Amino acid sequence: MTSVHSAVWATKMSDELRPAWVLHSRKYRDTSLIVDLLTGEHGRVSVVARGARSKGGRLAANMQPFRLFLASWRGKGELKTLTRTDFPAPPIQISGQCLMIGMYVNELLVRLLVHTHDPLPHIVSGYGQLLSQLAAADKTNISRDVEPALRRFELHLLEQLGYGVSFDTDGSSGEKVLPSSRYRFQAGTGFVVTGEPEGYSGSALLRIDAGDYDEDRARVARHVTRAAIDDLLGGKPLVSRQMYRSLIAHSA
């Protein structure tokens, strides 16, 4: 995390202002917004920002995805009312292909964190780190600069939600993954030994487990996280993923 972002986190808790990331905002009534926030202490919180679009829309302009700010809110229901805001740090600038990846991450969080009010400090700090990486990434080399970070975030998210994927253990037998064996991935169970030659090699899985990615291993991790995430989402596809794919298909 950059120093500005640490500064935001350091000022937390004073006067109930809590750090929050904007995941998404949509218009509500004539002048308001409904904003989905990602917070460390309360998970995903939906707030109404009353009058955010009036008076020149200054608040609406700040309520953009990927914005970290300080917020306080009140209310007992699902939908809270935003009471105070402070914007100590400038917005993170993410552009081009990285912006598409950022939108994917936000869609993923909104879809997966439904009715989650548990504290998610690890997810939130991982999210902040990932966004910093997206902002700083070399746009010409997405697969090297961004993919491993994205995969690590997805795996971490799955783990925090209780659906962790273990790359070093056979999901059905409970035995350690062997470098010389081949495995297939089964959502819900994990890696299972297979005799098929197109299975993932055990050594690749162990290296992914150690955080060691190359192009091939990044592809393996992508297939695995996709299968695990799709299983959790229950069949309804992610729009941002289709969008990203048509972009890649077009530029290829």
Q: Which residues contact other proteins (rule: CB under 8 A)?
A: 23-24, 26, 30, 36, 58, 61, 64-66, 90-91, 95-97, 99-100, 103-104, 106-107, 110, 238-240, 242-243, 246-247, 250-251
Nearer to other proteins, 21 or 183 (CB): 21
Q: How far is the CB of 235 from other proteins (least distance, A)?
A: 15
Residue type, 206: L
Q: How far is the CB of 227 from other proteins (least distance, A)?
A: 20
Task: Report the phi/psi class of residue 139: left, alpha or beta, with left for phi > 0 and alpha for psi in -120 to 50.
Answer: alpha
Q: How far is the CB of 251 from other proteins (least distance, A)?
A: 6
Nearer to other proteins, 184 or 241 (CB): 241
Nearer to other proteins, 210 or 239 (CB): 239
Q: How far is the CB of 26 from other proteins (least distance, A)?
A: 6
Nearer to other proteins, 91 or 171 (CB): 91
Nearer to other proteins, 29 or 74 (CB): 29
Nearer to other proteins, 58 or 176 (CB): 58
Residue 90: how many other CB atoms lie within 10 Å: 9
Residue 215: how many other CB atoms lie within 10 Å: 9
Q: How far is the CB of 33 from other proteins (least distance, A)?
A: 12
Q: Find how far residue 194's CA is from the centre of its chain.
A: 31
Q: How far is the CB of 232 from other proteins (least distance, A)?
A: 17
